[in-house]
Amino acid sequence: MHRQAGFAVILFFLLFTQAWSEAILILNTPPHPAQTGNNQSGFIARIEKEALRRLGYTLENVQFPAERGLQNANAGIVDGDALRIAGLEKTYPNLIRVNEKIMDWDFVAFSKQDIKIDNGWDSLKPYVVSIINGWKILETNIPKESTLTKVKSANQLFTLLDKNRTDLIIYERYRGLALIRNRHSDDIHVIDPPLETRAMYMYLHKKHKTLVPELVRVLKEMKQDGTYNRIVRESLTLYSGEH
């Protein structure tokens, strides 16, 4: 309850500030060190912060559970979502995809067990599988034969593995490796190959539709002038492999 109240206060403050300064853009953002980080030090935040800076905007991040974050962005409560798969505009019609990818995500399994995934999603059929509620690509592809558990957060997801309450979890590679490192869960490992690799995009509410092509242009510029690769090296190298 206190945490929800805290979110409400922060969101009210940011929206109040935005009313006085149209140069602030508020995005729902993944709460993970490899990609957001403290003080916008992670990869996603740094890329989007720089892109918006070049257009005269300041980035503000808020963090909601996956499903609620999409709902808030679609309703215009926040200005958009920092990172999602393509195609969500079909389900959330008020959102416009910024059609220059931020990064590729490897959706991989993590487990304590020696499990082989050599037949894609169908390999999951015999297992107890856990995911985060609201991750649409997982909800769509997990086989019906699997025993599926949904939780609200990544920490809950990895706790299930720590306590041996699931055979495996499906999550994004870098975010998972960051959590393993931070939780000292050295007995959890990535199972390769990835179940799927997807390009990930920023989405904005339709009230910012004129900003979308400008963001596409600036993101392309950042990839051409070396800024993008520099931020990759500085932000993701720590999590590029298991330890």
Q: Which domains does the chain have, with CATH numbers?
A: 2-104+199-239 (3.40.190.10), 105-197 (3.40.190.10)
Q: Are 30 and 99 in contact (CB under 8 A)?
A: no
What are the pLDDT digits (tens) for 20-55? 445 899 999 876 555 554 557 788 999 999 999 999
Rounded to an integer, what is the distance from CA 114 to the centroid of its chain?
A: 27
Q: What is the pLDDT of residues 154-170, one digit of tens each?
A: 999 999 999 999 999 99
Model pTM score: 0.77
- Residue 1 has a pLDDT of 53
> Strand pairing partners for 111?
168, 189
8 Å CB contact between 149 and 169: no
pLDDT tens for 128-138 read 999 999 898 99
Cβ atoms of residues 119 and 199 within 8 Å: no
Of all helices (H) and strands (E), which one includes residue 217?
Answer: helix 212-224
211: its two tokens = 């900003």
Q: For residue 196, which phi and psi values (nearest 5 degrees)? A: -165, 150
